[in-house]
Amino acid sequence: MVFDMEFALKSLPKIIAGIPMSLLISVFAILAGLVIGFLVTLCRMYKVPVLNRLAIIYVSFIRGTPLLVQIYVIYYALPMVADWAGMKLGLPISSADLPPLAFALTAFTIYSGAYLSETIRAALSAVDPGQMEAGYSVGLTTWQTFRRIVIPQAFVVALPSIGNNFLGLIKGTSLAFTVMVIEVMSNAKIAAADGYRYMESYVDAAIVYWLLCIVFERLFAWLEKRSGRYRSKSA
């Protein structure tokens, strides 16, 4: 068996067409994950009763189980939740309305939230407590100081790790095909099955993921440089 270059080039556009979906899932998951991660961190930092325990269990469970297993669990659990919400709460939803994307977005957000909460916790504790005091001393409220002083500084600390998480998510979206979401990997599988040329399609997919990751690696490097300007010695 030889590598069919022609087939590889021919299927490339089809596989590339999956990029928007892969990006949609990873961008949504990183943003929503940041919000969840932040809330989890707050529960843990302020030792909120009950929520603190739940947060610990959540993070430990997600970090201790494979993403693929989580996706399958969500795939079967989410319809149950939807039906329950529809029947008991009278919300206008049922399991039949759930698009495949809903499973993927839910699973990947829950997944990234757990990892990002660890990142955020470390980043927030890296900010000098004197910054909070300085905020109070000029009359800012706790939330104003958080938003204007502490979070921007923590963000710079967290960026490299957020970048890693994001690359992990991009690659992780290749598992979304298991719940019928058509993204890069699904398209590669479809192309492969069409022509019985598996290696060519998967090599295409690998290249697409790789290029995608290179672009975002660059983007994050640029972001790090830009947002960390205030830390450099020279003007």
Rounded Cα distance, 37 and 116, in Å: 5
- Least Cβ distance, residue 133 to another protein (angstroms): 5
Q: Determine, following the binding rule CB under 8 A, whether residue 234 of this chain makes contact with another protein.
A: yes
**Cβ proximity to another protein, 133 vs 194, nearer residue:** 133
Judged by beta carbon, residue 69 or residue 232, the one nearer another protein is 232
Sign of CA dihedral 130, 132, 136, 139: positive
Distances in Å between the Cα of 82 and the Cα atoms of 28, 69, 86, 93, 113 are 21, 20, 6, 6, 21
86-94, 104-112, 174-182, 223-231 -> range binding another protein (CB under 8 A) = 223-231
Burial of 154-174, coded b for 16+ CB within 10 Å and e otherwise, reads: bbbbbbebbbebbbbbbbbbb
Tell me which DSSP letter residue 65 carries.
Answer: S
We find the least distance from the C-beta atom of residue 88 to another protein, in angstroms, to be 38
Binding pattern for the stretch 149-188 against another protein, x by CB under 8 A and - elsewhere: x--xx--x--------------------------------
Which spans of this chain sit near another protein (rule: CB under 8 A)?
Answer: 128, 130-131, 133-141, 144, 148-149, 152-153, 156, 229-235
